[in-house]
Amino acid sequence: MTRIRFRPRAFNIPYHRNDESDSRMAKSLDRKAGKAAGKTPEVTQGTASTDGPLWVLENRRRRLISRRRFAQRMGFAIGLSGVLMLCGLAIGMLGYAHFENLSWTDAYLNAAMILSGMGPVHDIRTEAGKIFAGSYAIFSGFIIIIATGVILAPVFHRVLHRFHMEESGKD
């Protein structure tokens, strides 16, 4: 089995590992490569990461990922923020149905309007409903901010990554 040595680009100093960690690293890389027939995949600094999870962003020493991989990452981010919004909507529906005794459609309407930033449709009559509505409005604001951040994070990362690549290419 061949040894894999990683060299940090900036320092050009070999990163030494003991034999046990070399064999663990090689086994891990074999698993990631689809258990290639006894071949250890070539690991080079500066290649794009395409085998990791979608939520793990590449560092500045790696190449920019392909447009297809970026589209997958954006799809994952949009899906994640959609799940976050649905969870927030479900919490609002449950709260309005419980505290204000609204029907499910009216609870959905109130929760969706507050979550989208429009404001409640029905008048709030109970004290517990008023406390819930205020708390849910604050919660909804945080949900919107977090969902926007989740969607925009891959875009900002790609722009900054490209900027750093162009900047390092001028040296």
CATH code of the domain in which 72 resides: 1.10.287.70
Both 100 and 162 in one domain: the answer is: yes
Q: Does residue 55 fall inside a structural domain?
A: no
Q: DSSP label at 121?
A: S
Write down the pLDDT at residue 34. 54
Question: Mean of the pLDDT values across residues 102-113?
Answer: 96
Q: What is the value of pTM for the model shown?
A: 0.63
**14 contact partners, CB below 8 Å, separation of at least 6:** 5, 7
List the structure tokens of 21. Answer: 């960690």
Q: Does residue 98 fall inside a structural domain?
A: yes
Stronger pLDDT, 165 or 103, i.e. the higher one: 103
Q: What is the domain extent for residue 11?
A: 1-45
List the single range of 4-8, 57-61, 95-99, 104-108 with lowest mean pLDDT.
4-8
List the structure tokens of 112. Answer: 């969706």
Question: Mean of the pLDDT values across residues 85-112?
Answer: 96
Residues 106, 96 contacting (CB under 8 angstroms):
yes
Stronger pLDDT, 94 or 43, i.e. the higher one: 94
List the single range of 16-20, 63-67, 153-157 with lowest mean pLDDT.
16-20
**Structure confidence at residue 46 as a pLDDT band (50, 70, 90):** very low
List the structure tokens of 13. Answer: 């100093």
Write down the pLDDT at residue 37. 47
List the structure tokens of 84. Answer: 């976050």
Rounded to whole angstroms, how far apart are CA atoms 61 and 161?
9
**Structure confidence at residue 9 as a pLDDT band (50, 70, 90):** low
Write down the pLDDT at residue 64. 80
Q: DSSP label at 58?
A: P
Please determine, for residue 53, whether its predicted confidence score (pLDDT) is greater than 80: no
List the structure tokens of 45. Answer: 């600094």
List the structure tokens of 144. Answer: 């919107």
Q: Does residue 53 fall inside a structural domain?
A: no
Both 149 and 91 in one domain: the answer is: yes
- What is the distance between the terminal CA atoms of the chain, rounded to a whole angstrom? 37
**106 contact partners, CB below 8 Å, separation of at least 6:** 96, 121, 122
Write down the pLDDT at residue 119. 85
Rounded to whole angstroms, how far apart are CA atoms 90 and 81?
14
Write down the pLDDT at residue 61. 73
Both 110 and 165 in one domain: the answer is: yes
Q: Provide, for the chain, the percentages of residues in helix, strand and coil under a 3-state DSSP scheme, each rounded to the nearest 5.
A: 60, 0, 40
